[in-house]
Chains A and B, each alone.
Chain A
């Protein structure tokens, strides 16, 4: 089976291609790029739409197993396809926690059976995420876990973290860690500062992120472990990672797409859809994150998809759960920045395609001969209104609800097959 997509604006962030042309898919893989040559069984006229690698999202939470009322792998996949996400890493903080081989295989099997998106499990760094005993990283890696993380509650004991990171380094495994000194921020619900004080809400101080980050970077340096700094939210965090890299630390940085779009003022009238952790920070921080993205200092932009049903969000702000549904808005959040001329289209795509692909070591995320044909056709300028009722996630807790967005995925292709069309 050969499929030809012609008349497309080909965009490959990995090798800088931005040209009009055609792409040939054969047996689920990209066969050739550029000119249309040879016969195809099926021809798709892209009519000038952008053709780019499908998005690779390194941070997605679903409720499977254990909280399927929030989201299943299948419903998350449906939501992902609509957002142009063709590969995603699911977090281990489920019930039960993904901390052994059988559970890694469970996620892999359920994904194959119920979801169209490629789903990669992240393994728990410690058993039960209790931060005490290290989990079987070697065996889980072998079964397909792409990195290891303690999820939303980073390991609190430095001794445990040091040993797990030393061990991970010896297995060649990447450790993802939320930069957070939890003890400093235990009761916080939004960014610390004047606004939180006026609203009578307790704060999540920036220092908690910096102290946690400094610790993680120093232990990464001492152990030689590769660290993925999970969701920085402040200007200074970006600088800290940059400096550590100059000292030879192997560190990657991710930013949640919503942190490129919102600041603390968006919490407005106690809007619980804007309750996320790390919290939306000041406008200066947001601008600094966008600048870092433009400068290529952000390796991965993630959705930080965290579906929460109404009973977790229709509560007073302090009592509501953290988390935002994000799979369907990552691309548009980036395209808004492109539209504002803050970043070029190719640069905006890098942290959602080839760079995350390199972090987890997968062949997709690029328009290259022999790479899996995981592709999106999108209109970078199409305006749309984000209304939560129209989201495909099982939970509709999007901070983008009611926002005017720019840029939309029209078709999503995985392994050469069109799996979503708008």
Chain B
């Protein structure tokens, strides 16, 4: 981060709810800190136990093995006590409202709560009812800020910069919280983001997220792209409701070696996972040398370590 004379940067947020709440400096600060964690892990070092004696609750109203484990590992590396609360074990199914759950957990005085909820805005609603830091681990089709940050960090490591890069994101843009968060983060750092997907899965007004272009022609969208990010398509959307069939989707929107030739010669390939091999992306590409898909997972832990360190123990 560039130092500005006479100005000391301070990360001032209590929660991480949306990329929209962050400034460019905030994002760069989180990425720099994440990178330190990532490098330390690669060197085989354990970080300082910044979260020693802290309790972090993982409250997941939606099933997620990957994101929940990533947060759990990040918190434990920093020395926190982690309590996992997947939906099946909570009383929400017995009719308790989200706000009641929030107030109950709040009374147990955790230092941070990581929440995933199926309703857009659900995490923000919860955050208003608790005193501790809340980290949004995905709310409906709205936001998944740590994913946006880890994608940005992965790109920055692969390309050495974000400013001026051409990034193409392809798939089910409409239902993707990843597309929203990642587009906003990349735009804030100066990338030129193209969103691409079938017309039935392209929402209105993507320019308000910072996307430079929105289109349904993948061949045109991928032209000279420095980064190509494929999104997961829920299989149930391909039974005729939004798309005629998987094979027709793959023909028009699948990432094949042939198609990838249109992108820049050193284009990086990404996917937030879990992948539908052969539907969104050819296996050979997913496993190929251009792919940074496993590094995305690695950076996920690093970003979550950084965010937990910055927010844990913050009080409303």
Contact = CB atoms under 8 A, between A and B. Distances in A.
A319 B97 CA distance: 11
B5 interface: no
A216 B243 CA distance: 32
A95 B140 CA distance: 33
Nearest to A192: B204
B205 A198 contact: yes
> Looking at chain A, what size class is its interface with the partner chain?
10 to 19
Contacts of A194: 203-205, 207-208
B120 A197 contact: no
A210 interface: no
A201 interface: yes
B140 A200 contact: yes
Given A193-B204, A195-B205, A198-B209, A314 B97 contact: yes
B232 interface: no
B174 A197 contact: yes
B117 interface: yes
Give the one of B97, B143, B174, B177 with max A CB within 10 A: B97
B205 A314 contact: no
A317 interface: yes
B139 A200 contact: yes
A201 B142 CA distance: 8
B180 A200 contact: yes
A311 interface: yes
Contact of B124 (A269, A314, A315, A318): A269
Contacts of A270: 120-121, 124-125
B177 A198 contact: no
A195 B209 CA distance: 10
B98 A315 contact: yes
Nearest to B128: A269
Nearest to A311: B97
A316 interface: yes
A1 interface: no
Contacts of A295: none
Contacts of A317: 119-121
Given A198-B180, A200-B177, A270-B125, A316 B204 contact: no
Contacts of A199: 120-121, 142
Contacts of A200: 120-121, 139-143, 177, 180
A197 B180 CA distance: 9
A411 B84 CA distance: 58
Nearest to B209: A198
Interface string B67-96: 000000000000000000000000000000
B205 A319 contact: no
21 contacts: A194-B205, A194-B207, A194-B208, A195-B208, A197-B174, A197-B203, A197-B206, A198-B180, A198-B209, A199-B120, A200-B139, A200-B141, A200-B143, A201-B120, A201-B142, A314-B97, A314-B99, A315-B97, A316-B125, A318-B119, A318-B120
CB-based closest 8 A-B pairs: A194-B205, A200-B142, A316-B119, A197-B203, A200-B120, A270-B121, A200-B141, A316-B122
